Amino acid sequence: MAVRHRLIKASPATVWEVLADGRRYADWVVGTESSEPRKGQWPQEAASIGYQVKLGPLRIGNETVVRHCEEGSVLELEAHAGPLGTARIAIELRPWGEDCLVVVDEHPLQGAGGALHNVGFEMLIQLRHRAMLARLAKICEGGDGHA
């Protein structure tokens, strides 16, 4: 189970605003190129967004579904990765003074991702989370001008 956290120099409300915008998913999730709402009202339970993953010249369409949402503090997602299977990604926002501590917890649920899950795979997820949290921090802290 890959768990990583990062202190973001923005309020939990600011961070939630980014997470709650399904069109911005590709802005902070590593590996995605574009995203768009697909079903329901993101981030309500059962809502989903579609996105493209670029692997060299290939573009693969995937989907992420909201499985649990506590507005402003918890977002639990099920990411579908085609033949790799599915993963549970839980994002928790904790107030930390005026800032926000973001905790990400991810683990495979079904498919090849679960069968391949080992220490090496865990390290890759940790690296991906580090980059993902850095992107989220940049957006929320105003580094891209769209906080």
Indicate whether 21 belongs to any domain.
yes
pLDDT at site 147: 47
Indicate whether 92 belongs to any domain.
yes
Tell me the pLDDT of the chain (147 aa) as tens digits. 578 899 999 999 999 999 999 889 889 988 787 788 899 999 999 999 998 877 677 777 889 999 999 999 999 999 887 777 888 999 999 999 999 999 999 888 887 665 566 565 666 766 777 889 999 999 999 865 454
Indicate whether 145 belongs to any domain.
no
- CA angle, corner 145, sides to 8 and 50, nearest 5? 80
What CATH number is given to the structural domain containing 57?
A: 3.30.530.20
Indicate whether 104 belongs to any domain.
yes
Buried b vs exposed e over 124-133: b needs ≥16 C-beta within 10 Å? ebeebbeebb
Look at residue 11 and give its three-state secondary structure: coil
- CA angle, corner 10, sides to 140 and 4, nearest 5? 80
Indicate whether 146 belongs to any domain.
no
Residues in CB range of 57: below 8 A, 6 or more apart: none
* 96-137 confidence digits (pLDDT tens): 999 999 999 988 888 766 556 656 566 676 677 788 999 999
Indicate whether 68 belongs to any domain.
yes
Indicate whether 20 belongs to any domain.
yes
The boundaries of the domain holding residue 133 are: 2-140
Extract the tokens encoding 22.
């399904």
Indicate whether 80 belongs to any domain.
yes
Tally of structural domains, the chain: 1
pLDDT at site 144: 54
